[in-house]
């Protein structure tokens, strides 16, 4: 994780959540959408992964969670490859399974371990190898990175709640409190 002493240029999510391009858990009509820009090799994102799982359990249908790639390759040289693996798995309908694998194995991910995970997940290994090797899904990752940059993202993890950047603490209690507050606000706005 890196911290910037300057205030980001933009505190809003510039690329709206889109069912056709984003990786989403939860219903479109959930009162709260939490978007995370993350890096599979980032130790802070690995901590956030555990917290997000607990938050999802607690909030259930009130939360829609979106994960976007923001590989920080300057400090984590294999981060982009991990994102490519996740996108190649997504093309075979197994994004969330690969997402879990990557965060549960974090910094120990290698090309060989990715291939073993592909076999465990029941993916077509030949297709995965070709798409991974040819960086077929790099444009999706690059679009995530560009949207992160235009939204003022400087570090991982970075969260947006209903389109607004969340700069508070992201421990379980703090994040739950912010999400609950936004859920009540959204409900009140919808029922005016």
63-91 per-position pLDDT tens digit: 999 999 999 988 888 899 999 999 999 99
Dump pLDDT digits (tens) for 2-25. Answer: 433 344 445 899 999 999 999 999
Max Cα–Cα distance, the chain, nearest Å: 55
Could you tell me how many helices (H) and strands (E) the chain has, helices first?
7, 5
Q: Using DSSP bridges, classify how beta strands 63-69 and 32-38 pair: parallel, antiparallel or unpaired.
A: parallel
What per-residue confidence (pLDDT) applies to 86?
A: 96
Nearest-angstrom CA–CA distance, 106 and 68: 16
Q: Where are the domains of the chain?
A: 23-190
Give the predicted TM-score (pTM) of the model: 0.90
Any alpha helices (H) in the chain, and if so which ranges?
43-59, 79-90, 95-105, 111-120, 125-133, 138-150, 172-190
User: What is the CATH code for 23-190?
Assistant: 3.40.30.10
Share of the chain above pLDDT 70, in %: 89
What per-residue confidence (pLDDT) applies to 153?
A: 96
């Amino acid at each position: 994780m890196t911290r910037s002493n300057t205030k980001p240029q933009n505190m809003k999510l510039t690329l709206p959540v889109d069912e056709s391009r984003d990786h989403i858990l939860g219903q479109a009509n959930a009162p709260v959408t939490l978007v995370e820009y993350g890096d599979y090799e980032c130790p802070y994102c690995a901590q956030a992964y555990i917290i997000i799982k607990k938050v999802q359990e607690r909030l259930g249908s009130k939360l829609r969670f979106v994960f976007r790639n923001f590989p920080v390759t300057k400090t984590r040289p294999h981060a982009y490859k991990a994102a490519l693996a996740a996108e190649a798995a997504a093309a075979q309908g197994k994004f969330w399974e690969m997402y879990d694998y990557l965060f549960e194995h974090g910094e120990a991910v290698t090309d060989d371990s990715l291939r073993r995970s592909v076999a465990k997940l029941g993916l077509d290994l030949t297709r995965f190898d070709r798409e991974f090797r040819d960086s077929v899904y790099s444009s999706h990752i690059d679009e995530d990175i560009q949207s992160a940059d235009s939204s003022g993202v400087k570090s991982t993890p970075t969260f947006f709640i209903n389109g607004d950047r969340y700069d508070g603490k992201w421990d379980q209690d703090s994040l739950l409190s912010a999400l609950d507050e936004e859920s009540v606000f959204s409900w009140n706005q919808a029922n005016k």
